Amino acid sequence: MPPQVLIASYLEPEHVERIRAEVPAVDVVYRPDLIGAPRFQADHTAPMERRPGQEAEWRELLAEAEILFDFDHTHHEDLPALAPKLKWIQATSAGIGQAVKRYGYDRQGWRFTTASGVHARPLAEYCLMAMLMFIKNYPVMDAQKRARHWQRFNNSELRGLTVGIVGLGRIGRDIAQVCNTFGMRVLACRRSGAKPPQTVDAQFAPNQLDDMLPQADFLVLCAPHTPETDGLLSAKRIGLMKAGAVLINIARGALVDHSALKRALRDGRLGGAALDVTDPEPLPANDPLWDMPNVIISHHSASTADTENGKLTELFIRNLNHYLNGEPLENLLDINLMY
């Protein structure tokens, strides 16, 4: 019997057929009627309520699955009991470490591969967009447009400014490349002591983060959420940031002390923030961040591009071939490091 692959979140039919065509040695099962209908392109967390008969069918499919494309978001807690043959999950997200620990999947002997790299370019472009919006005074443009008021103003340029990047994985390296292209000074803080790419002007160890913060005009958080990074940008560290600096968070909301962030934004200590993620998430409707003119909120959507599923399919096909050939899988999650 060929290994059974169960696709657990929406994937366009052309991508499903490509998997079947390029990896005929696996049995690909795709039942879009049993998973949530996408609310937007590349939606992998669409809600789904199955009728009793549909639920029975889905459980039968889980019972035979050796490989899952994406987590089954309808059975977080009882997946180990429902999928006794499961050996590997290919995630559609890069930041899966917390979820794997939370649901106890790390104790099942399963392998997990992340989508690391798939979202790097969209996120790098988002960071560039945010930097340009603040450096070109978009809040002033928007306010004057709303007031129908015409008043000339000045702005600045990115060349010569300093960006500090916390986390130098694939996303961080793409951000560094983009910023370097615009003539910015690039600083990076990373856990690994590996030699930095040429696009990085100076590299800092985690215990040197406090030395990097006062130098950065823009601070980009793109590190994984682990016990070590939880609350990383504390009130004390926000106080160390350069006056007027802009925070860009594309990591997880839990990395930031949001109470301290709001105070710094209100009193002008920070110039602004671009928040793709918040804590809590979704952001409550009464949270003051919604009304701050110097805050961009992007609803955890900065990484969601119309190219995503094509890239995920390419990664999955490569990993399926690695799996069948007994080769190391790409983007294998380190259970202990959580990334």
Q: What is the pLDDT of residue 290?
A: 98
Q: What is the pLDDT of residue 156?
A: 97
Say whether both 11 and 45 belong to one domain: yes
Active-site amino acid positions:
252, 281, 300
3-state secondary structure 63-117: HHCCEEECCCCCCCCCHHHHCCCCCEEECCCCCCHHHHHHCCHHHCCCEEECCCC
Say whether both 275 and 212 belong to one domain: yes
pLDDT tens sequence across 114-170: 999 999 999 999 999 999 999 999 999 999 999 999 999 999 999 999 999 999 999
Say whether both 248 and 202 belong to one domain: yes
Say whether both 199 and 260 belong to one domain: yes
pLDDT mean over 318-337: 97
Say whether both 142 and 235 belong to one domain: yes
Q: What is the pLDDT of residue 331?
A: 98
Domain count, the chain: 2
The Cα–Cα gap between 263 and 245 comes to 14
Q: What is the pLDDT of residue 59?
A: 98
Give the CATH number, domain containing residue 88: 3.40.50.720
The Cα–Cα gap between 167 and 335 comes to 18
Biggest alpha carbon–alpha carbon distance for the chain: 72
Is there a domain that residue 334 lies in?
Answer: no
Q: What is the mean pLDDT of the chain?
A: 97
Tell me the percentage of the chain whose pLDDT exceeds 90.
Answer: 99
Is there a domain that residue 153 lies in?
Answer: yes
Is there a domain that residue 336 lies in?
Answer: no
**Position 193 confidence tier, pLDDT thresholds 50, 70, 90:** confident
Say whether both 33 and 165 belong to one domain: no
Containing structural domain, residue 274: 120-297
pLDDT mean over 311-332: 98
Residue 291 has pLDDT above 90, yes or no: yes
Say whether both 180 and 291 belong to one domain: yes
pTM of the model as a whole: 0.95
Which residues neighbour 17 within 8 Å (Cβ) at sequence distance 6 or greater?
none
The Cα–Cα gap between 68 and 62 comes to 9
Is there a domain that residue 281 lies in?
Answer: yes
Q: What is the pLDDT of residue 332?
A: 98
Q: How crowded is residue 337: how many other Cβ atoms within 10 Å of its Cβ?
A: 11
The two three-digit tokens of residue 97, written as one number: 């470490």
pLDDT tens sequence across 218-252: 999 999 999 999 999 999 999 999 999 999 999 99
pLDDT tens sequence across 272-284: 999 999 999 999 9
Which residues neighbour 38 within 8 Å (Cβ) at sequence distance 6 or greater?
10, 46
Is there a domain that residue 338 lies in?
Answer: no
Is there a domain that residue 333 lies in?
Answer: no
The torsion of the CA quartet 38, 108, 323, 192, rounded to 10 degrees, works out to: 90
The two three-digit tokens of residue 104, written as one number: 């106890």
Q: What is the pLDDT of residue 34?
A: 98
pLDDT tens sequence across 43-100: 999 999 999 999 999 999 999 999 999 999 999 999 999 999 999 999 999 999 999 9
Burial class (CB in 10 A: 0-12, 13-18, 19+), 103: middle
pLDDT mean over 294-310: 97
Ranges assigned E (strand) in the chain: 4-7, 27-29, 67-69, 88-90, 111-113, 162-166, 185-189, 202-204, 218-221, 246-249, 272-275, 295-297
Is there a domain that residue 94 lies in?
Answer: yes
Contact at 8 Å (CB) between 25 and 324?
A: yes
Say whether both 35 and 167 belong to one domain: no
Instruction: Using the Cα atoms of residue 308, residue 180, residue 206 and residue 264 in order, give the sign of their dihedral.
Output: negative
